[in-house]
């Protein structure tokens, strides 16, 4: 009995076609990982909306992490200054430097944003608006911003969560303090002590 070459071709061609279509998907996945590795280390661990620590390359949520080195590079004075540089985040400052500031994440209202400092909510019943202008950056280790509905794990924070992690006390760190001041235009100044 003789096999027809058409039957072999009939089964072989679709298999090759499927294989050819899947190759760009593997390449795209590799490109995404390369891009992620440019900005994040595999060792970077973040607290995800499920409230479990995960490597940042494994997080599917819309999340931005800003480290103390990033804060130093942009010369920020308050958390409001830091959030100004985050895509999808808008900061409204009432007055000059150091004044009260509200934050909006992806167009959501300020009352739908939760500000956490070391896991402790800073929004309360009398003032649901978190004041990001009052948080000094000298004590910040990193800031994790979760945008969108994934942040609803924390309750009514439908717009987003700003999780500020402060520097932990270290026995090797010497006891001391920091005093800084800066003077700007139009009679503005920034004076800090820690």
**83-110 average pLDDT score:** 83
With a cut of 80, say whether residue 70 has pLDDT above it. Answer: yes
The answer to pTM > 0.75 is no
**87-106 average pLDDT score:** 82
8 Å CB contact between 100 and 133: yes
**In this predicted model, which residue has the larger pLDDT, 115 or 52?**
115
8 Å CB contact between 136 and 78: yes
**44-71 average pLDDT score:** 67
Q: Is residue 140 part of a domain?
A: yes
Structure tokens at 30: 């590799």
- The CATH number of whichever domain residue 58 belongs to comes to 2.170.130.10
| 22-45 residue pLDDT tens | 655 555 556 666 665 655 555 555
Could you list the residue range(s) of the whole structural domain that residue 105 is in? 45-193
Q: Is residue 88 part of a domain?
A: yes
With a cut of 80, say whether residue 1 has pLDDT above it. Answer: no
8 Å CB contact between 151 and 62: no
Q: Is residue 19 part of a domain?
A: no
Confidence of residue 10 (pLDDT cuts 50, 70, 90): low
Q: Is residue 102 part of a domain?
A: yes
> Any idea which of 7-21, 67-81, 83-97 has the lowest mean pLDDT?
7-21
Q: Is residue 39 part of a domain?
A: no
Q: Is residue 77 part of a domain?
A: yes
Q: Is residue 85 part of a domain?
A: yes
Q: Is residue 37 part of a domain?
A: no
CA–CA distance, 113 with 39 (Å, rounded to integer): 26
Question: How many H-runs (helices) and E-runs (strands) does the chain carry?
Answer: 3, 11
CA–CA distance, 76 with 138 (Å, rounded to integer): 9
CA–CA distance, 29 with 187 (Å, rounded to integer): 52
Give the three-class secondary structure for 123.
coil
Long-range contacts of 179-185 (CB under 8 A, 24+ apart): 180/138, 182/77, 184/97
| 77-92 residue pLDDT tens | 888 888 988 888 988 8
114-123, 127-136, 143-152 — most confident range:
114-123
Q: How many domains does the chain have?
A: 1
**In this predicted model, which residue has the larger pLDDT, 178 or 146?**
146
CB atoms within 10 A of CB 40: 16
């Amino acid at each position: 009995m003789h096999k027809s070459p058409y039957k072999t071709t009939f089964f072989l061609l679709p298999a090759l076609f499927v294989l050819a279509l899947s190759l760009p998907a593997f390449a795209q996945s590799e490109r995404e990982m390369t891009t992620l590795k440019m900005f994040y280390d595999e060792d970077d661990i973040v607290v995800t909306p499920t409230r479990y620590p995960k490597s940042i390359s494994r997080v599917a949520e819309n999340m931005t992490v800003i480290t103390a080195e990033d804060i130093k590079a942009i010369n920020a004075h308050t958390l409001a200054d830091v959030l100004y540089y985050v895509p999808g985040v808008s900061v409204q400052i009432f007055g000059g430097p150091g004044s009260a500031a509200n934050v909006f994440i992806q167009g959501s209202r300020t009352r739908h944003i939760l500000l956490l400092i070391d896991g402790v909510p800073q929004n309360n019943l009398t003032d649901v608006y978190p004041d990001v202008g009052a948080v000094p950056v000298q004590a910040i280790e990193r800031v994790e911003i979760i945008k969108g509905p994934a942040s609803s794990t924390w309750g009514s924070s439908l717009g987003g969560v700003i999780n500020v992690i402060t520097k932990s006390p270290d026995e090797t760190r010497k006891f001391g303090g920091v005093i800084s001041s800066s003077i700007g235009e139009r009679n503005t100044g920034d004076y800090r002590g820690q």
